[in-house]
Amino acid sequence: MDLNVLILPGDGIGVEVTREAVKVLRSVASAGNHRLRLSEGLLGGAAIHQTGTPFPDETREKALQADATLLGAVGLPEFDDAPPEKRPERGLLGIRKALEVYANLRPVRSYKALVDSSPLKNELVDGTDMIIVRELTGGLYYGTPRGISGTGPEERAVNTMVYTRPEIERVARMAFELARKRRKKVTSVDKSNVLENSQLWRRVVTEMAANYPDVTLNHILVDNCAMQLVLNPKRFDVVLTENLFGDILSDEGAVLAGSIGMLPSASIGSRRPSGAWTGLYEPVHGSAPDIAGQNKANPLGAIGSVAAMLEYSFGLTQEAQTVYGAIEAVLNSGRVTGDLKPFGPPATTSEVGDAVAAAFSAHTATA
C-alpha cells in the first residue's frame, strides 16, 4: 500500500515528538512492505520565521496532496504579543479549515501501568475508556464578526459563536457511528440553559438520535461535565461537543491519562473515493516551550496519533492495534519520560521512540 504522508514538525517539542512518531511509522511500513512516501512542510512559528506566514501556500498544497498529515505542535513564546494573523496558532486553524477536518477525535484511556501517575484515586481512573468528539471547524474559533476595536473606555472585543444545522448534524453522525462500534453511549455536552447556540445543538443532536435507536443519548451541561470527568470518568463512552468546550474538556483528559503527553488525536472530515478519511493527526499537547530542545518530551501522544492515522486514513486496523500494544509494552517496562516518572531516572524522548519501534518490530516478527 502507498502511504503518502506529510510531516509538519511545527515548533518546540513538536519537532522532537514527531521525529519519534516517524520512526514508528517507518517500522510499520517496513514490516508491512508498504511504500512510505514522506514529505515535510512548515507550519506555525517555524513557518513565520521562514516565510512570514504561519500557514504558507506551499504547506496547504502539500497537505491537500497527501493522504494524511502528521503534525507536532505549534506555538513559540516570542509570538505571544503578535497580532492574531501573525501567531503560530493561526496556522493550526488554517490547516484544519483547508482540509475540512470537522471532527476531532480524542481517545482518553487509562493504562494499567499509569494509574499511579494520575493525581486522582486509582479506583476512579482505572478502566476509563472514552473518546471525546470535538467539533473543529466552527463555533467561537471561526465565527465572525470578531476582533478588537475602539480605544480607551470604548475599547471592546467581539467573538461570535455560530453553528448551522448541517455542521451539527455531520459531527453528531460521526459520534453516533463511533458509539455503535463501542459501548453505544453518546453524551452530548452543551450550555443550553444559557446559550441559544447550545439550544440548537441539543435539538439537532436529539433529532439525530432517532436514526440510532441502538445508541443511548444523554445531554449534560458543560460545567457539570467538567466535574463528572474527574468524579466519575468511567460513565463516559463517546462525548460529543462543540469546539471551545471540547478544547477545554479534552485537556482534563490529561489528568485521567497520567500526562498530557499521552494523548493522541485524529481530525477527520470527508472520505476519499477509497473510503478512507482525510486526516490530520497530532498529539493533544502544545509546543511546551518549558522543556523544548531537551529530549525530555513524552512522544507517546504523537506515536498514538500515528496509530490513529493507520486506522482512519489507511484502514490498517491491525497495525494500529499493534502500535497501541507496543505503547503499552513500553509503559509496562517502565521506560518512560519524566512526566510519567516522578522518581528514578527517566528515559529520553528518543529512547522511548526507539523502544516503541523495537516493540512493534518484535511483535510483528513473532506474529
Contact between 89 and ligand NAD by CB under 6 A: the answer reads yes
Q: How far is the CB of 367 from ligand NAD (least distance, A)?
A: 29
Does a cis peptide bond (omega within 30 degrees of 0) precede residue 145?
yes
User: Does the annotation mark 223 as catalytic?
Assistant: yes
CB 250 within 8 A of CB 263: yes
Which is the catalytic residue, given 2, 112, 116, 223? 223
104 or 198: CB nearest ligand NAD: 104
User: Does the annotation mark 214 as catalytic?
Assistant: no
User: Does the annotation mark 181 as catalytic?
Assistant: no
CB 137 within 8 A of CB 102: yes
Which is the catalytic residue, given 126, 129, 142, 251? 251
Q: How far is the CB of 87 from ligand NAD (least distance, A)?
A: 8
As separate numbers, helices (DSSP H) first and strands (DSSP E) second, the chain gives: 12, 12
The grid coordinates of residue 144 equal 465572525
135 or 282: CB nearest ligand NAD: 282
Of the candidate spans 121-129, 200-208, 283-291, 308-316, the one that interacts with ligand NAD by CB under 6 A turns out to be: 283-291
198 or 305: CB nearest ligand NAD: 305
62 or 96: CB nearest ligand NAD: 96
Alpha helices in 33-189 (DSSP H): 45-51, 57-65, 88-99, 122-125, 165-180
188 or 259: CB nearest ligand NAD: 259
Contact between 134 and ligand NAD by CB under 6 A: the answer reads no
Residues 6+ apart with CB under 8 A from 30: none
Describe the chain by its helix, strand, coil percentages, rounded to 5: 50, 20, 30
Phi, psi of 5 (to 5 degrees): -120, 130
User: Does the annotation mark 81 as catalytic?
Assistant: no
User: Does the annotation mark 251 as catalytic?
Assistant: yes
Of the candidate spans 72-80, 119-127, 140-148, 266-274, the one that interacts with ligand NAD by CB under 6 A turns out to be: 72-80
Among 47, 66, 92, 136, interactor with ligand NAD by CB under 6 A: 92
The grid coordinates of residue 22 equal 516517524
DSSP 160-217: E----HHHHHHHHHHHHHHHHTTTSEEEEEE-TTT-HHHHHHHHHHHHHHTT-TTSEE
Residues 250-279 that bind ligand NAD (CB under 6 A): 259-261
Instruction: Return d(Cα 297, Cα 283) in angstroms, integer.
Output: 12
DSSP 324-341: HHHHHHHHHHT---GGG-
Of the candidate spans 47-55, 59-67, 291-299, 355-363, the one that interacts with ligand NAD by CB under 6 A turns out to be: 291-299
Of the candidate spans 58-66, 117-125, 171-179, 289-297, the one that interacts with ligand NAD by CB under 6 A turns out to be: 289-297
Q: Which residues pair with 279 in a beta bridge?
A: 68, 268
Per-residue contact flags (x/-) with ligand NAD for residues 40 to 59, judged by CB under 6 A: --------------------
Identity of residue 310: L
Per-residue contact flags (x/-) with ligand NAD for residues 294 to 323, judged by CB under 6 A: ---xx--x----------------------
Contact between 13 and ligand NAD by CB under 6 A: the answer reads yes
Q: How far is the CB of 183 from ligand NAD (least distance, A)?
A: 28
| DSSP E strand stretches across 14-113 | 35-40, 68-73, 103-109
Q: Which residues bind ligand NAD (CB under 6 A)?
A: 13, 17, 73-75, 89, 92, 259-261, 282, 285-291, 297-298, 301, 339
Catalytic residues: 141, 191, 223, 247, 251
